[in-house]
Amino acid sequence: MPYYCESPLVYGLSKKQNSDGTFDFEITANDDPDGASLFYNIRFETYFVITGYNNTNSDRVAGVINWGYNPPGSSKPINDGKISITATNQFSPIAQQILVAGGYSSYLSTLNKN
């Protein structure tokens, strides 16, 4: 089920400006999916969404991280813990189904895909 994390206890963001004018960002998140111990394989899609994109009322999907654990109750992450963000401007078909089932179908139409 999708949920929105806003508490500073859940996430953190740090930004550093490089000498060439670009920025490096580091995002940290802590989540404890207790239900994960009930399944043999557990996988998550975590999306990064820019709210108020370009000072509008529209949001934009910027990227996704796919992660999880195997076996149940294990602290051994998939892919040896190597997590990378994949640039995208939309939710996966499965994520869209979850959003619709969770009552967020109108949100999908408000996303900026440019």
* pTM listed for this prediction: 0.65
Residue 65 placed within a domain: yes
62-96 pLDDT, tens digit per residue, is 888 887 777 655 666 677 666 778 888 888 888 88
Residue 2 placed within a domain: no
12-35 pLDDT, tens digit per residue, is 677 788 899 888 877 776 666 666
31 is in which domain, residue-wise? 11-108
Decide if 60 contacts 50 (C-beta within 8 A): yes
- Give dist(CA 22, CA 16) in Å, integer: 9
Residue 4 placed within a domain: no
Domain count, the chain: 1
Decide if 48 contacts 62 (C-beta within 8 A): yes
Residue 31 placed within a domain: yes
Residue 6 placed within a domain: no
